[in-house]
C-alpha cells in the first residue's frame, strides 16, 4: 500500500474529529494521506493535529503563493489515487453538484480526475432537505461514491440520518477503491436477507415487526467490502442501499423467498431477516370495515421458512447462516434451531438485552456443529465486519 495516496478533504462539522482517526487508520495501513482542511473544518480540528497524524503538510488556501509554488491546486488534485471528503458538509455536496470552485477544496474536487468518495455528516433535516437529496442524486450520477451517513443521535441533540460513518467503515470503503484491499470473497455470490416482512391484512393494514434491518445491511455491506457479489433481499426498511450491493426490495415472506430463489445459485446465504412466522390467510381486496359484529377474527397461516428452504434446496449454498433472536436460553435454542433449519451456523443474539432490537450494538454467539464462539458486545458494523471475515475464512 506504500505507493497509494489519498487526498483527504476535511470539511466543517463536529465529525471532523473522526477524520483524525481515519488518518491514523490509513497511515497504519501504509496509505499516504495528503490533507486539505477547509476554513470551516479548521474550526473543529487544528492543522497541527491533522498534519502530525498525516505526516504531511496541510493545504488550505487556494491562493497561497507558497502552495502554488510548491504544488498548484491542479497538481494537488492529481497527486493522489482517490479523493476522500470526510466529513462532507451539505455545502461541499452542493458545491460539487453545481460545479463551484470557490475555495481549495471545491476547486480540487472539480479539477481531479480521480475517484471521489464522500462521507456526509450533517443535521438530519439538512440531509433530508430536497436540495441535499437532489445534490446527492446528481453526484451519484456523476460517479461520486458515498459511505454513510448513518442514523443515530447527533451532536446537535436531534436523532436521525446524518451521522458520519465511523472511521473504520470509511477506511473499509476506501480500501477497495485503492485496489489494495484483500478481496477474499471475490467471485463469490452471496444472498443476504434483511429487515422485517410486512404481511397485508387488507390493502391498508399490515402484520409486521420491529426489525430495523441494520444488522443485515451492515453484513451485506461488509461482505461486499470483501469482494463478494451480494444480493440483499430486503423487507421494508428506512435504510439506504449499501454501496456495491444489489438490493431487491420485497414486502412479504413469500416475495422474499421468491427473490432468494431467483438469486440462486449462490455460494453463501445469510438469513438475517425477521420474517413474519404467520400471515393473514387472505388479505382481501377492500379495506375491512368496522361493523356491528365486533372486531374481525384473523385467521393466520404459516409463512414459508426461507432459511430452511434454502438449506434444503438442490442448489444449496455451501455455507448457510441463520440468525436467532432469543430472549431466554439463547444458546440452547440456537443449537436446536441449527438442526431444525438444516443450516451450518446460527448467529444467536439475546434481544432481551435493551437496545439490541433496532439499536446499534449486538452481542452474539456463533453456534456451529463444532461448538460455540461467544463475541463480546460491539457495534453492529463491527459484528458485520468480523462475521464477514469469519465467513471468508470458512470458505477458504
Interface contacts to ligand C5P, rule CB under 6 A:
193, 253, 271-273, 275, 303, 305-307, 322-324, 337
**Alpha-carbon span 27 to 51, nearest angstrom:** 12
Minimum separation from the CB atom of position 243 to ligand C5P (A) = 23
252 close to 279: Cβ distance less than 8 angstroms: yes
Nearest to ligand C5P of 105, 310 (CB atom):
310
DSSP annotation string for 284-312: -SSPPPP-TT-SPPPPEEEPP-HHHHHHH
Nearest to ligand C5P of 96, 257 (CB atom):
257
Nearest to ligand C5P of 166, 305 (CB atom):
305
DSSP annotation string for 87-110: EEPHHHHHHHHHT---SHHHHHHH
**Alpha-carbon span 187 to 380, nearest angstrom:** 25
Q: Kindly report the CA angle at 16 between 11 and 22, in degrees rounded to 5?
A: 110
Per-residue three-class SS string for 241-278: CCCCCEEEECCCHHHHHHHHHHCCCCCEEEECCECCCE
Nearest to ligand C5P of 247, 337 (CB atom):
337
Nearest to ligand C5P of 218, 253 (CB atom):
253
**Alpha-carbon span 209 to 236, nearest angstrom:** 10
Helix axes 90-98, 104-111, angle to 10 degrees: 40
For residue 213, which of 383, 358, 354, 378 has the smallest C-alpha distance?
358
DSSP annotation of 68 reads H
Minimum separation from the CB atom of position 107 to ligand C5P (A) = 49
Report the half-sphere exposure of 123 (CA within 13 A, side-chain side). Answer: 7
197 close to 250: Cβ distance less than 8 angstroms: yes
For residue 13, which of 146, 179, 162 has the smallest C-alpha distance?
162
* Grid cell locating 122: 450533517
Minimum separation from the CB atom of position 253 to ligand C5P (A) = 5
Q: What is the CA radius of gyration of the chain?
A: 24
Nearest to ligand C5P of 115, 249 (CB atom):
249
Minimum separation from the CB atom of position 346 to ligand C5P (A) = 8
Nearest to ligand C5P of 8, 324 (CB atom):
324
92 close to 106: Cβ distance less than 8 angstroms: yes
* Grid cell locating 179: 485496489
Minimum separation from the CB atom of position 106 to ligand C5P (A) = 45
Could you list the active site residues? 156
**Alpha-carbon span 175 to 217, nearest angstrom:** 19
Nearest to ligand C5P of 86, 275 (CB atom):
275
**Alpha-carbon span 28 to 38, nearest angstrom:** 24
Minimum separation from the CB atom of position 166 to ligand C5P (A) = 26
Amino acid at each position: 500500500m506504500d505507493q497509494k495516496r489519498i487526498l483527504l478533504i476535511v470539511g466543517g462539522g463536529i465529525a471532523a474529529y473522526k477524520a483524525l482517526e481515519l488518518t491514523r487508520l490509513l497511515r497504519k495501513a501504509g496509505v499516504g494521506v495528503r490533507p486539505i482542511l477547509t476554513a470551516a473544518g479548521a474550526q473543529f480540528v487544528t492543522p497541527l493535529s491533522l498534519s502530525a497524524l498525516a505526516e504531511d503538510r496541510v493545504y488550505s488556501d487556494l491562493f497561497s503563493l507558497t502552495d502554488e509554488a510548491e504544488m498548484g491546486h491542479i497538481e494537488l488534485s492529481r497527486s493522489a489515487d482517490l479523493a476522500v471528503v470526510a466529513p462532507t458538509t451539505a455545502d461541499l455536496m452542493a458545491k460539487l453538484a453545481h460545479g463551484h470552485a470557490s475555495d481549495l477544496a471545491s476547486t480540487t474536487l472539480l479539477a481531479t480526475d480521480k475517484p471521489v468518495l464522500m462521507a456526509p455528516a450533517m443535521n438530519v433535516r439538512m440531509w433530508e432537505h430536497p436540495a441535499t437529496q437532489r445534490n446527492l442524486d446528481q453526484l451519484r450520477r456523476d460517479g461520486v461514491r458515498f459511505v454513510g451517513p448513518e442514523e443515530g443521535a447527533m451532536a446537535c441533540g436531534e436523532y436521525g440520518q446524518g451521522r458520519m460513518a465511523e472511521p473504520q467503515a470509511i477506511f473499509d470503503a476506501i480500501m477497495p477503491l485503492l485496489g489494495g484491499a484483500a478481496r477474499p470473497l471475490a467471485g463469490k455470490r452471496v444472498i443476504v436477507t434483511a429487515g422485517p416482512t410486512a404481511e397485508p391484512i387488507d390493502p391498508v393494514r399490515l402484520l409486521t415487526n420491529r426489525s430495523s434491518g441494520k444488522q443485515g445491511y451492515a453484513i451485506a455491506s461488509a461482505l461486499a467490502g470483501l469482494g463478494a457479489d451480494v444480493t440483499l433481499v430486503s423487507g421494508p426498511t428506512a435504510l439506504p442501499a449499501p454501496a456495491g450491493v444489489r438490493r431487491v426490495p420485497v414486502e412479504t415472506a413469500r416475495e422474499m423467498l421468491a427473490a432468494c430463489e431467483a438469486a440462486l445459485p449462490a455460494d453463501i446465504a445469510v438469513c438475517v431477516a425477521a420474517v413474519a412466522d404467520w400471515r393473514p390467510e387472505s388479505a382481501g381486496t377492500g379495506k375491512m370495515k368496522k361493523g356491528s359484529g365486533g372486531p374481525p377474527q384473523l385467521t393466520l397461516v404459516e409463512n414459508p421458512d426461507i432459511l430452511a428452504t434454502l438449506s434444503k434446496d438442490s442448489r444449496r449454498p455451501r455455507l448457510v447462516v441463520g440468525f436467532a433472536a432469543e430472549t431466554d436460553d439463547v444458546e440452547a435454542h440456537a443449537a436446536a434451531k441449527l438442526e431444525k433449519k438444516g443450516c451450518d451456523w446460527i448467529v444467536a443474539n439475546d434481544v432481551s438485552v435493551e437496545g439490541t432490537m433496532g439499536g446499534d450494538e449486538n452481542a452474539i454467539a456463533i453456534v456451529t456443529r463444532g461448538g460455540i464462539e461467544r463475541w463480546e458486545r460491539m457495534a453492529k458494523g463491527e459484528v458485520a465486519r468480523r462475521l464477514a471475515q469469519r465467513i471468508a475464512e470458512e470458505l477458504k
